Structure 1
Amino acid sequence: MAVQPLFVGAVGLGMGLAVNAATGTSHWPGPLEWIRQHPWQAAGILVALSVGYRAVQLWRNRNGQVYELLPGIVPAAPAWTVERAETAAVVREVMRASKQGGAVGITTAVHGAGGFGKTTLARLVCTDRKVRRRFGDQVYWVTVGWGTRSRTEIAEVIVEVARLVAGDATRFDDPMRAGAHLGSLLGRARRPVLLVLDDVWEQSQLDPFLLGAPNCVRLVTTRVRNLLPSGTASVLVDRLTGPQAKAVLSTDLPGLPDDLIVRLVAACGSWALMLRLANRWIVGMDRTGVDTAKHSRMLLSLLEAGPTAVNRVGETAEIADPARRNAMVQASVQASLDLLPHGTADRFMELGAFAPDDPIPIPLLARLWQAAGLDEVATRQVCEDLERLALLTLDSSHGGAVLLHDVLHGYARAALGDAGRRAVSRRLVLAIEAGLPAIEPLRLSEPQPRVAWWRLDQAGDGYLLDHIVEHLQQAGDTEQAFAVAKDLRWIDVRARQRGPAAPMSDLTRIGTLEAAHRAAALERITHLLAPAEPADAVTDTLHSYLQPLPAWRDQADALAEQKCDRARLINAWPPPDLASTALVRVLTGHTRSVLALAISPDGTWLASGAADKTIRIWDPATGKSTAVLHGHTSYVLGVIIGRDGGILVTNGGHDRTVRVWDAATGKATAVLRGDGKIMAVALSPDGTWIATADENGTVRLWETTTGAATTVLEPEILIMSLAISTDGAWLAGTGDGGGLWIWDRSNPASAVTLDYAGPEHEVSTSSDGMWSATTTRSAFAYTTCVSHHVTGASATVMEDSVGDVSQCAISPDGAWIATASRSWTDFNVRIWDTALIAGKTASTAGSHGEGISAMAVSPDGTWLVTGHGDGTARIRDLTTGRIRTALGQHDRDIFHRAFTALAVSPDGAWIATLGGAGTVRVWNPTTGRATALDERARAVAFGPDGIWIAAADNEGPAQVWNRSTGAGIAILNVHDSSVAAVAVSPDGGRLVVAAYGETTWIWDLAAGKVSATLENRGQATAAVAVSPDSTWIATVGRTDRMIRIWNMSGHCVAAVRTDGELTSVAWGKDLFVGGAHGVYCYRFVPGRSDLPR
């Protein structure tokens, strides 16, 4: 560890000084004389300080404040590199930034030009002795490139950087969230970090990398000067100086005449790229034994007077002109290609058909060039020849690959032309298709892939997986490109290879409206497609959430009908947590839950406040965060924008302050300080006064400019939300007991009350003052209600199954509504199209009480019993969906859970319920009468004969009772931790006991011992169930929202991820799972390898 040598050295130094001082007699200079006179005290102080420092380091390690990053790998600078004055300037700025924070830019003096040596310069900086001493091996290189343009592609790059830096494989489809995550990893590093961002082209590529990590210096190379953040130290890289240019041109050419060097340098414009190409051309001629000077003059004539000449004789090339730069590249490249065998020039130009800034595998080139008579050996020879002339770079790893400088790639691409690129891509597609298996078409009316593109090797064919859709389009086969991009098998492979952002990028590339709709559907579930265990859970989750959608249904159903080697979970019902199609866009960037939002009067921007104590300004059209405001010391619970869009008012809640901001500058202009937590805030239409409600039940009116309280209202209720009418004449508020209150500002004693069932969280008023929107929480859906102030009529207009909708705001024209969730796992703002929201109905299997927390199915599969948060249990007919019987109430536990488990006897004559307070009751479903058995249990299950019941309590042991007498039969000491759930196999042979931790045990009742253990890899289990044939076990994850199927040997054979918290499971003909969003129902299909032989 880095502090270990310091600790040992300090102790050694202290002891050495002590011994030296104790045995010496000479006076020491200055304050050191005190050390000589008191050697052992001085040694003790030094050692104590060292031990204290070491203790602080250990404490920081234990609390996750520091992080051991993986060593970085930086590409070495080429051997021909020359020293440049700019190197020292960049090193100086990097060292300064390592102390003060910030970024450093390397850009070109010629706007938009490449090939000046920015990348080479950055490599030299990374190997500088001062830089290495400061940053150690925590120097990381990221090549962004022109080809990384879409949000999903940028996110993929950031995710890969996080993996290389910290071994963190967390997937993100949003670049800002990925960047924030990377920033948090870098910010925990033990020492400063240098992150090199090479070849950045756009602001959207750079912004995510700038988030967080004040200990990280970002070194950015770009040809776009105005891309760098304000205040960034920028070093311009211009033409090489005379001596530098001569050194590059003369590499490996010691005998070149000086006058010829001077003229060639001038003809190349002292442009590093051109000088390197010229040097390699001359060296290539020199190796053939010809007169070097003679052929150097030949190259000079091409540049000065040949058919592609761009300069007058003796004139220095004007490289600021793009046309002249292109002509120079053409002349130099053509001269180099003339040195190579016939046909090699064509092979070089064909590289322009490939994606820029991405290594091209040599085996892939061999398949393409096979039509030109080249085998793999010949292909590698061509690549080596081109590399010798500096026309490409060779990478020997992973079977070999080539990479073109973007200037040379641009030249080859332009020279090839549209028709040439189409022809090359067509040949490439045909060559690859020939090596892939044909597929049996699904019973679909739409076009399907010709071959199984998803059978490409993920390790060896990474380029093809990333770009085959692009090559199909470039080949003119757009129909086949779309057929591949929308195939669920392809999407599955791409999601596993690069994360869910990759198949979205493929669909977006198609450019049609249908492809955009499909990409949008995929985007709504990308957070569910993160890597899982087992890996095939991604496949089943993908199919589960796309199968209910009309565009995907036929394909998903056809694939479900196919026989499969592995076990699967297939929808029997649509998932209750499907995202609404009214969801237009998700704005991501906050690192904790979004608690407040507001829309600007013109609808062009919105502001959000979050539990991360920040306020963000957003462009809803692009999804980009344009500003972040800091100042609150607690969660931001409210945000209001003035009618003219000039001011912003925010509520800090627990910090007891309301802040007023200038929306243009982002500066706070006033701070209003209250006596308690601020529960609600409203701003008058003219922006001159503010209303607040605090936790003490007081409503105050304040002047915006002075911050003085002018009026105090004292209603008899605790106001949770406030809104002011458009004329400022009345004030509306919602209380914690439900309902909407409206006060006349001139007469606060009189109020109009509109009642609703359920507590309101937030209220907003329409621009005409005639209606309000309030958010209300119910059992599964969180709804927004619209209320008319004159008639009092209300109607539910939208439901969000994602989480507790606690905030809403209406656009000025009423065309869209923004909502935010109070869920501690949902950090997003959602924008809803009101035209699409209208008429949307509630989802499946709802609840008449509170959320379902426990569930069991009758033995014949005709009815379902559910336990609800209000303490009641209900028996529901599965045919009609109606409730047959309601059972009595259980008391809740400290977490307000009324039920934690339910079980039905094998004959359906009895129902066992386990209350949140630990009480086990056995009910007669007909009479509704109950018998209590135990007061401490946490899980319960019937034996197959209905005579005995198994339960377990917080102390660990599972117990078995006689149902009729209540007498104990057995105690099974399987573990020492708290029990979450128990289940008995229908054949009576096994008892499954799940702990609140990561382990579930299978107890063999006949043998009296554990026969297998289910390891859930750190994820707590909420409930368990055994299949009717006693062959399989189902578990539902408490924290990972996963439903898993296990065999009796403890191997997980299938899984699916859901979008909500899971609480219960029951297995009848189908598998039923209860959760915060409703009831999930799946059909479990064993794989061919699982079937009896």
Structure 2
Amino acid sequence: MRRRWAITVVAATFLAAIATAVSGVALNVATGGDAAWFPTMEDHPLRWLAASATAVAVAGVLVWWAQQGYEQSLVTSVPATQRPEPWVVDRPREMAGIVRALRFQPGATTVGITTAVHGAGGFGKTTVARLVRAHPRVLRRFGRRIHWVTLGRDVRRGALVEKVNDLVRQIDPARAQPFTDVRQAADHLASVLADGPRRLIVLDDVWFPDQLATFPVAGRCARLVTTRNPSLVEHGVPVKVDQMSPEQARRVLTADLPGPLPNPVIDRFLVETGNWPLLLRLVNKILLDQARSRPDLAAVAQDLLARLRRDGALEVDELSGASSQTLDVNDPEQREKAVRATIEASTGLLSEGEHRRFAQLAIFAEDESVPVRLVAALWEASEIDTAAWCARLADLALVTLSPADGGRISLHDVIRDYLAKTLTHAARLHRRLLDAVHTGPWWELPDTERYLRDHLIEHLLAAGRRDEAEALALDLRWILTRLEDAGPAAPAADLAPFDSPRATRLKHLLAQADHLLGPAQPAHACADILLDRVANDRDWGGPAKRIIAARTTPRLVSTWPLPDLPSSRLLRTLAGHDHFASALAVTPDGDTVVAADHISVLTWDAATGRLRTKVDGGGTVQALAPDGATFVARSLFGTVTLRSTLTGRQLARIGRRLWRLNEVAIAPDNSWLATLTFHRFVRIWDTTTGRQRSSLGNLFSIRHLAVSPDSTRIATFGSGYAVQLWDAATGRRILGIPTPSQFITTVAITPDGSGLATGDIDGTVHIRDTATGRVRATGPRHEGWIDQIAVSGDGAWIATAGHDRTIRVWNLADVRRGTVLHGHLRNVRVVALAPDGSWLVSGSEDATIRVWDNRTRTDRVPTSSGTPVAAMALAANGTCLVIARSDYGVRFLDPRTGGETAAISRKSPAVAAAPNGDWVAIADGSDVLLWDVGADKPRARLHSHREDYARPPGRPPVVHRASIRAVAVSPDGAWIAIADDHVVTVHKVSTGLEQCHFALVGRLHALKFAPDGSWLATAADNGTIRTWDTRSGLQRTRVRSRARHLSAFTTTPDGDLLLIAGRFGGVFATGVADKRIGKELTGHPDQPSAMAVTPDGRWVAGCSASGAVWIWDFHRGPVVAMTRVDGNLIACAWSPDGRHLYAGGSSGPYRFEFRDRPA
């Protein structure tokens, strides 16, 4: 049918075009033109003009008729379950924005529908999505390629994967795959969408970011999302569905009524309901129910209206002072009156028993979907009777009833609030519910009891069982259950009501580990990660260790003290960003942390650490306002814009083009900003108009800018011996403050404007009087230069970020009241203090943002053997572990205890150990030092001198000296391979003589000997693996892997396979002899930075720069165990028995025991 109508439209359009052309020619002839090729028209031009005009009109009608038929055929193609209900009215304002975005937004598009009021019986998000689904323009654009996916709160993990698999089956059955991993399924869906035509994916009832991320936008696909969380669609086109227009409200009120209502009655109903969809639909249903027994619809409406006015509207009139004041649906007090009257009118149709049971539903949490079986337990009734009563309530639009999971009901939050005020003996009802469902330990609740898990603590508290609630919230078994079920936010919410010392300590531990507890594969790994951290705590270590010993799932358990345990002053580490922060700010209310990382701007809830928003910078982010409200971005073409941190929306364009922009500073009041260009010009710009206010001229020595807290002055500083203060309004120089150092790295002005804090390149902070330049105080000195100084809003505290990886916080009134905060692994670049100085946030080059407590003065840093690891090697017999520190020195550790046995003062990028552990090879500049472990002294020194074998004949050899990049020892300890950037040389250990050498092609990544030492494999960064004969130095094989950018490489113990990992690909096993690519290892959380295989070849360990460590089953494929550490990892090695795994990275060395391995 649709095809026939499409052909009809084309034919009608063609006929209309011919008729229009003939009419045009006839008009031309009739007005004096000629058409020698059409003599008949020249003889009778008026007849042809009249006939052609008629033909144009007929053709136009035909085109219109064909288009209507075609659009009707499109509408009939919409599945019945996705069509709007008959009573639904159109919302043109909201629809226009959505349809326009879907049709004309360039590239992949997400359109999100949000609503201010959610729930039963009203005009909601799903209804608007159905209207869009059936819109003719949307149907013309996407045709039958519109796919509807309904999610919901409980669709997580496995259920989410099934949704993706079902969608792929709808789109292209031939490419359907039974994935079980969410990430793999999402990637496959993106591939299917990218290869296909234009499509629209409708995602209904999205709750969580991972649900949205599972359905990516790719290719020519667009995405329509319905959600109650606006932040989920901040990067799309959000459309808010709220109060109806009078005409729309009128149509909802009168939908399906058996007769008309007088206009005055309708108008008064609209006043009483405030044009709120829920109330309108409730009134409509009441009128329909009453009309079944009372034929006089007008009288029914008058009675209902009188009841509404008597019980609600008169009080609203008294509060507002106007008898016809429209209710503000955003005002709960006004809205409550109409809601109460409307609900009571609806509940008046219930029997006394039904009304009592309905009121009892108020004990359930608001905005939740409650299983009917729980309602039955509360009502002490059978599920059959309960389902029937719930259906009765749904018919009256008092609840929403869905068939999912055996039936679930949703109670509108406004209705729940009303019922809660009328409920008596609530505590007894909570106890009744708990007693009915308590059949065993609470942490053994099945996965289907999602509602109980989420709200059990609330029900226990409401039942008056506070001690039981606190005991449960503090039970690690319950915490692990909640963690696996809903992430770290769930146990944190359960612990929030309790403030005992043990609860406070556990909340602190959970917050410190929060960034490590993201989604993991396998799912139980999250619990293993948390237990590993808690087991090192002096208060909670005992219970954690007992639970670790009792667990039976495959897991990695640390057997050494963790080297990355945080300082006691650390509150949390913020997650969600990918790059190190270039700017930080705390909002004036202390509620939000704002960070910029050059390409995006992010905001977090300061109390919980939850990521609120992440917006694209629209270019390179140049500066962040002190209050975190705005930021400045510069595009590739030099356009500078001021944007909102919450939405990314452009607020103003600054000037025309600003090329080679060095620095930007935004005034705290956001009224102006200053720019410093490469040519040392400082200009002041108005942020409202984007026009230049003033300039400071060409200041040769200026490198940086700072603005006073009152926005009246600007400080310039850099390579001169002074800090200059300028009037921001006029550009006039106020004062020059001399400084003892030529290089000032940072400046901050105190809130009262009387003090100027300067940071010198030598790490010293001075506080100077802005009137006289005299030094008031000198703060604690960093062991490197200072990157930023922050002053608290009350002017009491100063925090400095330094290149010694520390933050120093001290009191302006008493410098001795200061502390040093340790925890960052690289230089600290930015810092910001809360307005009251009670906490601060810092950002480092280690790509972490950490929140610190400033209320306690002691900083308890756990003692451990942690030092940054640049290279690591373990002897094959497990007797010697050697690590090269990234800063300086080589350490020898006892592989069992982790204690240091010896140390060498050498900076080495590579180490290797002899199989028997008697000696180790240490890269020392351009040589390799063989160190005798037992005698603790050098054994031999091997030189990496090499000849330039491309020299012309007859010329003397050219000797090169290059730094060693890699060292490898053969399994029998007879040979050692040394590699620099150009050449690999193989030496005999016993004599130190060179056996052979060969040139490298590409940058070397790793060396690996064959098990029998007959060949040596070299892995280049470009993914090419070559094997070389260790006797002759000739190339044996060359393998071009799929990993174009190599990230990790190793071999199996038998030497038959190469395991190759790429930065932008998977992990593949490739044959050494046949060079065939075999199996792919999947399920890992990140690209490996190192891999190791157990001596029996069964287990493959991987570690990554993100701090993840995981174990593959090499024969069966999946990841069986995983853990995370704080910091990056660059090396790993197995013990000889394959029971312990050693790893090293920026925080230090780790030793994990692989327990309960699968058979």
Which bracket does the TM-score occupy, shorter chain normalised? 0.5 to 0.7
In 2: Cα distance, 1:160 partner to 1:1048 partner: 26
Letter in 1 for 2:446: L
In 1: Cα distance, 2:719 partner to 2:79 partner: 55
User: 1:821 matched to which residue of 2?
Assistant: 844
In 1: Cα distance, 2:797 partner to 2:280 partner: 72
Please give the residue correspondences for 1:351-370 in structure 2 after superposition, counting only pairs within 5 Å. Answer: 351-366=361-376, 368-369=378-379
Query: Does residue 1:775 correspond to 2:786, yes or no?
Result: no
Q: CA deviation at 1:805?
A: 1.5
Q: CA deviation at 1:404?
A: 3.3
3-state secondary structure, aligned to 2:533: helix
User: 1:570 matched to which residue of 2?
Assistant: 557
3-state secondary structure, aligned to 1:422: helix
C-alpha contact (below 8 Å) 2:865/2:899 kept by paired residues? yes
User: 2:853 matched to which residue of 1?
Assistant: 833
Q: Structure 2: state its 5+ residue gaps.
A: 1-5, 38-76, 169-181, 187-206, 318-322, 328-333, 614-626, 641-660, 947-961, 997-1013, 1017-1026, 1028-1036
Q: 1:1042 to 1:697 in 2, by over 3 A?
A: farther
In 1: Cα distance, 2:497 partner to 2:1110 partner: 35
* TM-score, with structure 2 as normaliser: 0.63
Q: 1:336 to 1:79 in 2, by over 3 A?
A: farther
Q: CA deviation at 1:363?
A: 4.2
User: 1:335 matched to which residue of 2?
Assistant: 348
3-state secondary structure, aligned to 2:451: helix
In 2: Cα distance, 1:983 partner to 1:1043 partner: 16
3-state secondary structure, aligned to 2:806: strand
C-alpha contact (below 8 Å) 1:942/1:949 kept by paired residues? yes
Q: 1:300 to 1:704 in 2, by over 3 A?
A: closer
Deviations 1:82-139 (A, max 9, x none): 647xx3454457678888999999879xxx9997756697467545736746986889
Q: CA deviation at 1:309?
A: 7.5
User: 2:827 matched to which residue of 1?
Assistant: 804
C-alpha contact (below 8 Å) 1:135/1:192 kept by paired residues? no
In 2: Cα distance, 1:501 partner to 1:843 partner: 29
User: 2:597 matched to which residue of 1?
Assistant: 611
C-alpha contact (below 8 Å) 2:1049/2:1060 kept by paired residues? yes
Q: CA deviation at 1:845?
A: 1.9
Give the alignment partner of residue 852 of structure 1, picking from 849, 859, 869.
869
Q: 1:164 to 1:803 in 2, by over 3 A?
A: farther
Deviations 1:541-592 (A, max 9, x none): 222223323454233111111151x321112234333343423477789886
Query: Does residue 1:507 correspond to 2:495, yes or no?
Result: yes
User: 2:788 matched to which residue of 1?
Assistant: 762
3-state secondary structure, aligned to 1:337: coil
In 2: Cα distance, 1:72 partner to 1:860 partner: 69
User: 1:555 matched to which residue of 2?
Assistant: 543
Q: 1:859 to 1:1057 in 2, by over 3 A?
A: same
Q: Structure 1: state its 5+ residue gaps.
A: 1-5, 38-70, 171-176, 199-204, 223-234, 439-449, 891-897
Q: CA deviation at 1:1062?
A: 0.7
Q: 1:1086 to 1:102 in 2, by over 3 A?
A: closer
User: 1:524 matched to which residue of 2?
Assistant: 512
Q: 1:72 to 1:728 in 2, by over 3 A?
A: farther
Letter in 1 for 2:801: T
User: 1:325 matched to which residue of 2?
Assistant: 338
Query: Does residue 1:535 correspond to 2:523, yes or no?
Result: yes
Q: CA deviation at 1:494?
A: 3.4
Q: 1:532 to 1:753 in 2, by over 3 A?
A: closer
Letter in 2 for 1:834: N
C-alpha contact (below 8 Å) 1:74/1:126 kept by paired residues? no
C-alpha contact (below 8 Å) 2:819/2:859 kept by paired residues? no
In 1: Cα distance, 2:540 partner to 2:1123 partner: 18
* TM-score, with structure 1 as normaliser: 0.67
Q: CA deviation at 1:366?
A: 4.5
Please give the residue correspondences for 1:308-323 in structure 2 after superposition, counting only pairs within 5 Å. Answer: none
Q: 1:187 to 1:196 in 2, by over 3 A?
A: same
Q: 1:1025 to 1:196 in 2, by over 3 A?
A: closer
Q: 1:618 to 1:1022 in 2, by over 3 A?
A: closer
In 1: Cα distance, 2:720 partner to 2:162 partner: 50
Query: Does residue 1:1082 correspond to 2:1152, yes or no?
Result: yes
Give the alignment partner of residue 532 of structure 2, picking from 540, 544, 549.
544
Q: 1:127 to 1:1046 in 2, by over 3 A?
A: closer
Q: Which stretch shifts more, 590-599 or 535-544?
A: 590-599
Q: CA deviation at 1:617?
A: 10
In 2: Cα distance, 1:120 partner to 1:792 partner: 60
In 2: Cα distance, 1:237 partner to 1:959 partner: 87
Please give the residue correspondences for 1:415-454 in structure 2 after superposition, counting only pairs within 5 Å. Answer: 415-417=422-424, 419=425, 421-434=426-439, 438=440, 450-453=441-444
Please give the residue correspondences for 1:91-106 in structure 2 after superposition, counting only pairs within 5 Å. Answer: 91=95
Q: CA deviation at 1:886?
A: 0.9
3-state secondary structure, aligned to 1:357: coil
C-alpha contact (below 8 Å) 2:664/2:674 kept by paired residues? yes
C-alpha contact (below 8 Å) 2:748/2:757 kept by paired residues? yes
Q: CA deviation at 1:798?
A: 1.0
For the aligned residue pairs, the C-alpha RMSD in angstroms reads 6.6
Give the alignment partner of residue 946 of structure 1, picking from 957, 960, 973.
973
In 2: Cα distance, 1:311 partner to 1:488 partner: 52
In 2: Cα distance, 1:263 partner to 1:25 partner: 57
User: 1:908 matched to which residue of 2?
Assistant: 917
Query: Does residue 1:704 correspond to 2:728, yes or no?
Result: yes
3-state secondary structure, aligned to 2:705: strand
Q: Which stretch shifts more, 1017-1026 or 620-629?
A: 620-629
In 1: Cα distance, 2:115 partner to 2:880 partner: 70
Deviations 1:590-649 (A, max 9, x none): 88643234679x99699967333788999968988975324342899988798x979887
Please give the residue correspondences for 1:1014-1033 in structure 2 after superposition, counting only pairs within 5 Å. Answer: 1014-1015=1081-1082, 1019-1025=1086-1092, 1032-1033=1099-1100
C-alpha contact (below 8 Å) 1:943/1:984 kept by paired residues? no
3-state secondary structure, aligned to 1:468: helix
C-alpha contact (below 8 Å) 2:906/2:924 kept by paired residues? no
3-state secondary structure, aligned to 2:1121: strand
C-alpha contact (below 8 Å) 2:1090/2:1131 kept by paired residues? yes
Letter in 1 for 2:1107: R
User: 2:903 matched to which residue of 1?
Assistant: 885
Q: CA deviation at 1:947?
A: 2.8
Give the alignment partner of residue 869 of structure 1, picking from 886, 889, 901.
886
Paired residues in the alignment total: 932
Deviations 1:15-63 (A, max 9, x none): xx99x99xx999999xxx9xxx9xxxxxxxxxxxxxxxxxxxxxxxxxx
Query: Does residue 1:391 correspond to 2:378, yes or no?
Result: no
In 1: Cα distance, 2:1087 partner to 2:679 partner: 35
Q: 1:686 to 1:195 in 2, by over 3 A?
A: closer
Q: CA deviation at 1:1061?
A: 0.9
Query: Does residue 1:220 correspond to 2:241, yes or no?
Result: yes
Q: 1:645 to 1:401 in 2, by over 3 A?
A: closer
Q: CA deviation at 1:854?
A: 1.0
C-alpha contact (below 8 Å) 1:957/1:975 kept by paired residues? no
Query: Does residue 1:931 correspond to 2:958, yes or no?
Result: no
Q: 1:674 to 1:282 in 2, by over 3 A?
A: same
User: 1:456 matched to which residue of 2?
Assistant: 446
Query: Does residue 1:381 correspond to 2:404, yes or no?
Result: no
C-alpha contact (below 8 Å) 2:1089/2:1103 kept by paired residues? yes
In 2: Cα distance, 1:423 partner to 1:770 partner: 51
Q: 1:310 to 1:678 in 2, by over 3 A?
A: closer
User: 2:64 matched to which residue of 1?
Assistant: none
Q: CA deviation at 1:855?
A: 1.9
In 1: Cα distance, 2:813 partner to 2:409 partner: 72
In 1: Cα distance, 2:164 partner to 2:721 partner: 48
3-state secondary structure, aligned to 1:1065: strand
3-state secondary structure, aligned to 1:494: helix
User: 2:1005 matched to which residue of 1?
Assistant: none
Please give the residue correspondences for 1:1053-1068 in structure 2 after superposition, counting only pairs within 5 Å. Answer: 1053-1068=1120-1135
C-alpha contact (below 8 Å) 1:654/1:676 kept by paired residues? no
